[in-house]
Structure 1
Amino acid sequence: MTDKLPPNLLALFAPRPALRYLPPADHAPEERKTNAISGVGQYLEELKEYDDDYKPTESWLQRKDREKLERKEKHQYQITEGVKDYKPAEDPQVRGDGFKTLFVARLSYDTEVKDLEREFGRYGPIERIRIVQDTTAEDNAPPKKKQKGYAFVVYEREQDMKGTTASISLSPLLA
């Protein structure tokens, strides 16, 4: 079939000249020595001793499943047992009237109380501002690790809180 091709195309199918032999740069092949290969028989006694102390580690899939099961059990406990003992009236952190309280979410982690007071104080007198902190975070942790990113603003009057929610716009405090 290729014999019917024109000479310029036949030249594309012509074999190239053989590659020139170059001796290896480091050692000649006949002078090379490889490491002696031995069996594992010499390690069998040590392997039997190792079997007694061997404790398999869990894979990342097993760890993921275990943590998922632990979270599910913790959640189930909080739903059944944890809620029974919770009394909001006795919680020292819960203060103020729920109808006068504004929940502010998606705060920047470097937001401070004075920033919230400046932004929300224009709608009326504020009784209390509480930025929620993570109690489990270390003392020297950065603010991003300490703050949860939301706050509660308690107004003195319920109308002020309702006026805030009606006229609030996006603020530079939001992340």
Structure 2
Amino acid sequence: MNHNISKFPPDVSKLFKARPPLQYKRQVDYPLEKRQTNPHITGVSHLLGSQLNEYRNRFSEGSSNEHIKEYEKAVTSKINELRSLDEKLKNWEPNNDPNIKHTDPYRTIFVGRLSYEVNEVELQKEFIKFGEIEKVRVVRDKITNKSRGYAFVVFTNPQSSKLACKEIGVHRGLEIGGRTCIVDIERGRTVKYFKPRRLGGGLGGRGYTKMYRKSDRPFRRPVMERDPVILPNPKTFPTRPVYTGPSRFSRSPASTQTASSMPSNRYGANAGQEVPPVQTSYRSRNARAQESNKVQKTEEPDY
């Protein structure tokens, strides 16, 4: 696009003046048709020929990446585990369980973190104080008949189950057989979309055992056995001397003379002598305003 710059003044038309063309510079590199490899540079095939042939004979199909196989194996096992959990979860029907089919879920409590040696009789002795018990069941393995570490207690009254969950709960716990057990409601039939621990859900884990371990930190004692921190008594610290001289708001000559005639107690000298209180003539702004308002009210004439 051509622009007519004649209508602009000379100082402005200089800004639109075309620049000179670029200066030609000779190329430093050779042109494409004249490029070639340095004749003094030779290949290394005659030096590595025997080693390359030996490697090809030894690894005819190439080397296998073992570390990649380990990663793939871990990923595959995790995927298979999730698939098996999904299949078990589809077949899990707590309402059709023959062990709890004819029981009320609102009268049932869950007892977890049980010791493997605790039986039904010991559980009944611990929970009989909350109300009459209808049934106690410790979940055991079908093959070995060994306890799985949790149980269910069915009361005759739903208020008893609520009282047990409220008194013990998940955070407070109850010591049974040398272990701190937890008590919770039966969530399998009362909470929607609940999944047990063995099917990938729940609120389990063994993080609660970290505070009771004694051998996991050889250079540090457990948290439960640390010595309490003993703070020094603040009364034993030497107190800083207190200034008891005249106040900075004092203006009366009597108070100034009294304060100047007395020995200075700023640095602790004559600490045993009693110092009379200093009277000051300072008044706040609110006090002065109230006093002036009283004077004005008394001066107003009464018609």
| TM-score, normalised via structure 2 length | 0.31
Q: What secondary structure is seen at the aligned counterpart in 2 of 1:108?
A: coil
- How many pairs align? 108
Q: 1:171 pairs with 165, 168, 175, which one?
A: 175
The runs of at least 4 consecutive aligned structure 1 residues that moved more than 3 Å come to: 64-72
With over 3 angstroms needed to count, the CA separation of the structure-2 counterparts of 1:65 and 1:106, relative to structure 1, is farther
How large is the Cα RMSD of the aligned pairs?
2.8
CA distance in 2, matches of 1:174, 1:67: 38
Max Rg structure: 2
Give the structure 2 partner of residue 152 of structure 1.
Answer: 152
Q: What secondary structure is seen at the aligned counterpart in 1 of 2:176?
A: coil
The answer to which structure, 1 or 2, has the higher relative contact order (CA under 8 A, 6+ apart) is 1
CA distance in 1, matches of 2:107, 2:165: 11
Give 5+ residue unaligned stretches, structure 1. Answer: 1-57, 140-145
Q: 1:94 pairs with 85, 100, 119, which one?
A: 100
With over 3 angstroms needed to count, the CA separation of the structure-2 counterparts of 1:109 and 1:84, relative to structure 1, is closer
CA distance in 2, matches of 1:161, 1:119: 13
CA distance in 2, matches of 1:74, 1:115: 36
CA distance in 1, matches of 2:75, 2:119: 35
Instruction: Describe the superposition over 1:79-131 as per-residue Cα deviations: whole angstroms up to 9, x where unpaired.
Output: 2x333333323221233222111111111111010000000011111111111
* 1:28-67 superposed matches below 5 A: 62=70, 66=73
Q: 1:127 pairs with 110, 134, 150, which one?
A: 134
With over 3 angstroms needed to count, the CA separation of the structure-2 counterparts of 1:118 and 1:84, relative to structure 1, is same
Q: 1:83 pairs with 80, 89, 99, which one?
A: 89
Give 5+ residue unaligned stretches, structure 2. Answer: 1-65, 180-303
| TM-score, normalised via structure 1 length | 0.51
With over 3 angstroms needed to count, the CA separation of the structure-2 counterparts of 1:165 and 1:107, relative to structure 1, is same
Q: 1:117 pairs with 116, 124, 144, which one?
A: 124
Deviation at 1:71, TM superposition (A): 5.0
Report % sequence identity: 31
